[in-house]
């Protein structure tokens, strides 16, 4: 399993008009197939009078890639939508495209181009984040060392989420797991080995792509 992967940053929506047909694309980040199906059902309820609702979704942990042409000719909608996310290496994503038919046939090629284009526009609107493993650390230090410790953490790419000023200072730090070792070395060198960090939890979190 890869140490990082790309996902939509959040919700994205875009519109495209092609020969009077109006395409509305929506993208969400999801974790399960159940979540993906909920979004698909919500869109169908949102536009109950529309015939065409094409969908696709990709789920990393469940190793699922699915698409549905939603009333369009076979291969003209869901597949070109899915191809956008596969090409961009995006996972944990669901995309729904609703089409108001404008009365002018687009043909198979025109439909494929339009559905691929609107899926990409919706993804661009959502943005892309990289999910990677981050660790939550507990870092103790004296009051006299607090400012230097804060600078060491920031230099290592860490984020101080909480500071507890008790008998001594206790910092709760969020940092990419790959940087934990270098931070510990910097703290060890600074404190002559008297300060040791504690890893509370490690989990995937979104960050810049």
- pLDDT score at 206: 80
- pLDDT score at 204: 87
User: Which of 165, 161, 175, 176 lies closest to 140 in space, CA to CA?
Assistant: 165
- pLDDT score at 134: 92
- Asked whether 12 and 124 are in contact (CB, 8 A), the reply is yes
- pLDDT score at 1: 41
Span 118-173, pLDDT tens digits = 999 999 999 999 999 999 999 999 999 999 999 999 999 999 999 999 999 999 99
User: Which of 77, 76, 30, 25 lies closest to 57 in space, CA to CA?
Assistant: 30
Span 56-92, pLDDT tens digits = 999 998 899 999 999 899 999 999 999 999 999 999 9
- pLDDT score at 166: 92
pTM of the model: 0.79
Task: Check pLDDT > 80 for residue 209.
Answer: no
Task: Check pLDDT > 80 for residue 2.
Answer: no
- pLDDT score at 207: 75
74 CB-side CA count, 13 A: 0
Q: Mean of the per-residue pLDDT values for the chain?
A: 93
- pLDDT score at 62: 87
């Amino acid at each position: 399993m890869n140490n990082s992967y790309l996902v939509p940053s959040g919700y994205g929506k875009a519109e495209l008009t092609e020969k009077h047909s109006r395409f509305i694309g929506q993208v969400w980040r999801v974790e399960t197939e159940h979540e993906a199906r909920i979004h698909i059902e919500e869109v169908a309820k949102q536009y109950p009078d529309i015939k065409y609702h094409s969908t696709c979704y990709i789920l990393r942990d469940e190793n699922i890639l699915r698409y549905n042409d939603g009333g369009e000719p076979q291969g003209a909608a869901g597949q070109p939508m899915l191809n956008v996310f596969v090409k961009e290496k995006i996972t944990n994503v669901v995309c729904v495209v609703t089409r108001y038919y404008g009365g002018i046939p687009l043909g198979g090629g025109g439909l494929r181009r339009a559905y691929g284009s609107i899926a990409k526009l919706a993804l661009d609107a959502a943005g892309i984040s990289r999910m990677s493993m981050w660790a939550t650390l507990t870092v103790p230090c004296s009051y006299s060392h607090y400012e230097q410790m804060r600078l060491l953490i920031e230099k290592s790419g860490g984020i101080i989420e909480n500071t507890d000023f008790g008998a001594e200072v206790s910092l709760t730090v969020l940092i990419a797991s790959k940087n934990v070792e270098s931070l510990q070395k910097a703290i060890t060198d600074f404190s002559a080995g008297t300060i040791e960090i504690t890893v509370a939890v490690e989990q995937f979190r979104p960050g810049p792509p």
